[in-house]
Amino acid sequence: MLVDGEIFLGVSDKPEYLKLKYANRHGLITGATGTGKTVSLQVLAEGFSAAGVPVFAADIKGDLSGVSRMGKAQDWQTKRAEDIGFTDFADDVYPVIFWDLFGKQGHPVRATISEMGPVLLSRILDLNDTQEGVLNIAFRVADEEGLLLLDLKDLRALLVEVQQRAREISARYGNVTTASIGAIQRALLVLEQQGADHFFGERALVIDDLMRTDAEGRGVVSILAADQLMQSPRLYATFLLWLLSELFEELPEVGDPDKPRLVFFFDEAHLLFDDAPKALVDKVEQVVKLIRSKGVGVYFVTQNPVDIPESVLAQLANRIQHALRAYTPREQKAVRVAAETFRPNPAFSTEEAITQLGIGEALVSVLEAKGVPSMVGRTFIRPPSAQVGPISPAERDAALANSPVGALYDTVLDRESAFEVLNKRAREKQLADERAALEAQRLEEAEQLAKERARAEKAAAPRRSTRQSPTEAAMTSFARTVANTLGRELVRGILGGIKGRR
């Protein structure tokens, strides 16, 4: 039942296949907890890997890690294979690299602040237009002054610098207010409290390391440990959106290839959209719509189709719908919405079938020839070939020790960046100010000392008596008489023609 160029999904009234040619048209796996979504995800991941397509998947409960271990078919797997006539079923194992944003259960996944960029970061932080403008100004200052923005402490140091130079920067780029800087800093604090300090930094993830194949030509399955990450929904959304954006920016256009270059599975996809601002949803829609031309398929995994905005849902052509429960009016509405997304099958009511599906059973609709959705089929999903369920910590450690990328990402880099440069600049300015202050103080002290010395010298000089002796008094009187006489003679000489002599 295995066919080249297609992934065998299971059997309805006929075998159900996902054509690799249309696999980059994206997809959706939905269903209530415990209905078999993870098994369907594993079946797809194994199928893509066997076809030479690299896979990236978020692993919420750790169950997907079993892909890295040789399967040991359990009774239910063997029975399911027999029931659907899957004669090609065999145990197998697939190449896996483990990742973890926190660096505990896999290699650290990091991105730099510069790679995130002001636009995407503003949307993640839910900044208003004014605050986004200030963040753009901050990035412009960093570019002009050659300041590397690698991690959160770099961005914080830059914001402090911009605030201190607000008058100068405002004159060049527009108003920079303390209120806007404060709002950005508070939003960063929220992100940091969810663990963003682990995500922002170096060495940043290189997209090519997610697009590996092994020596046998099988696509490597990159598994992101996401159990702890689920407790930080904003960080999870930040990571997902950054990854999609990086793929969109870096990969060349390839149109519609015979098979995808890479396939992503984003579990708990509702976390990307819960309380998300419209600008963020628009960005996701844009990336999902355009990234297929890069040869990348994106598959969202969530409990209910209504978790995904309609604008994004419309882009997801390949669908696997497991059972939904409909006990409340809201749940009944969700079932109707889910049913309406399928091409009807006259053999049964899609809306009724959704509530009646058993574990491991799903409604399947995929793109067929010319990209037309197939008629929905009530399908028994084939059993996975690798181990079903999580691996042990020791097995995970062994996989990490033998990983081809461990030497690249396990060591943290901390190059000189904005934080160090601005701190150094601040220290130099402080030292210069201190030197100037000391020099001014020295000059002031020198002037004060000179004044005190002059006063002391004046006080120490001997005083001359102003009292005259008889002889000195006689001489003074004589001098005055002579002076007066000479003065009168001078007047007469000058005015003689008028007064004459007496």
Residues contacting 172, CB < 8 A, separation 6+: none
Q: Is residue 52 part of a domain?
A: yes
pLDDT number for residue 498: 41
Domain end: 333, 363, 391, which one?
Answer: 391
- 157 with 268, same domain: the answer is no
- 129 with 191, same domain: the answer is yes
Segment 21-35 mean pLDDT: 94
Q: Is the pLDDT of residue 500 over 50?
A: no
- 135 with 79, same domain: the answer is no
- 253 with 354, same domain: the answer is yes
How is residue 295 written in tokens? 């040869």
Q: Is 379 helix (H, G, I), strand (E, B) or coil?
A: strand
Buried b / exposed e across 487-502, counting CB within 10 Å, b at 16+?
eeeeeeeeeeeeeeee
- 378 with 356, same domain: the answer is yes
- CA pair distance 100, 112, nearest whole angstrom: 16
- 23 with 135, same domain: the answer is no
Report DSSP state, residue 224: E
Segment 195-216 mean pLDDT: 92
Q: Is 477 helix (H, G, I), strand (E, B) or coil?
A: helix
How is residue 468 written in tokens? 């005259």
Q: Is 225 helix (H, G, I), strand (E, B) or coil?
A: strand
pLDDT number for residue 420: 93
Handedness of CA 370, 376, 381, 384 (dihedral sign): positive
- 79 with 227, same domain: the answer is yes
Segment 6-34 mean pLDDT: 95
Segment 333-342 mean pLDDT: 89
* CATH (domain of 48): 3.40.50.300
- Looking at the structure of the chain, the number of domains it has is 2
Domain end: 175, 196, 217, which one?
Answer: 196
**pLDDT, tens only, 343-390:** 999 999 999 999 999 999 999 999 998 889 999 999 999 999 999 999
- CA pair distance 27, 50, nearest whole angstrom: 19
Is the bond preceding 218 in cis, omega lying within 30 degrees of 0? no
Domain end: 166, 196, 226, which one?
Answer: 196
Residue that wins the pLDDT comparison between 497 and 349: 349
Q: Is residue 464 part of a domain?
A: no
**pLDDT, tens only, 263-279:** 999 888 887 787 777 77
- 241 with 346, same domain: the answer is yes
- CA pair distance 29, 301, nearest whole angstrom: 5
DSSP codes, 292-355: GGGTEEEEEEES-GGGS-HHHHTT--EEEE------SHHHHHHHHHHHHTSPP-TTS-HHHHHH
Q: Is residue 488 part of a domain?
A: no
Q: Is residue 35 part of a domain?
A: yes
User: Mean of the per-residue pLDDT values for the chain?
Assistant: 88
Place of tokens 């100068």: 168
pLDDT number for residue 370: 86
268 phi-psi bin (left φ>0, alpha ψ -120 to 50, beta other) = left
How is residue 249 written in tokens? 């920016």
Using alpha carbons, list the distances in angstroms from residue 143 to 133, 146, 207, 418. 15, 5, 24, 11
Q: Is residue 189 part of a domain?
A: yes
pLDDT number for residue 455: 85
Report DSSP state, residue 373: B
Residues contacting 246, CB < 8 A, separation 6+: 111, 115, 207
Q: Is residue 485 part of a domain?
A: no
Q: Has this prediction a pTM greater than 0.85?
A: no
- 105 with 181, same domain: the answer is no
Residue 499 binned pLDDT confidence (cut-offs 50, 70, 90): very low
**pLDDT, tens only, 33-80:** 889 999 999 999 999 999 999 999 999 888 999 999 999 989 999 999
Residue 180 binned pLDDT confidence (cut-offs 50, 70, 90): very high
Place of tokens 């708990």: 268
Residue 464 binned pLDDT confidence (cut-offs 50, 70, 90): low
Q: Is residue 276 part of a domain?
A: yes
How is residue 118 written in tokens? 């002001």
Contact (Cβ atoms closer than 8 angstroms) between residue 322 and residue 361: yes
- CA pair distance 499, 238, nearest whole angstrom: 113
Full domain range(s) for residue 145: 113-196
- 256 with 337, same domain: the answer is yes
| β-strands 361-365, 318-321 pairing | antiparallel
- 274 with 213, same domain: the answer is yes
Nearest-Å Rg of the Cα atoms of the chain is 41
- 131 with 80, same domain: the answer is no
| Residue in 260, 279, 268 with CA at minimum distance from that of residue 239 | 268
Residue 414 binned pLDDT confidence (cut-offs 50, 70, 90): confident
**pLDDT, tens only, 83-124:** 999 999 999 999 999 999 988 999 999 999 999 999 889 888
- CA pair distance 169, 337, nearest whole angstrom: 52
Q: Is residue 185 part of a domain?
A: yes
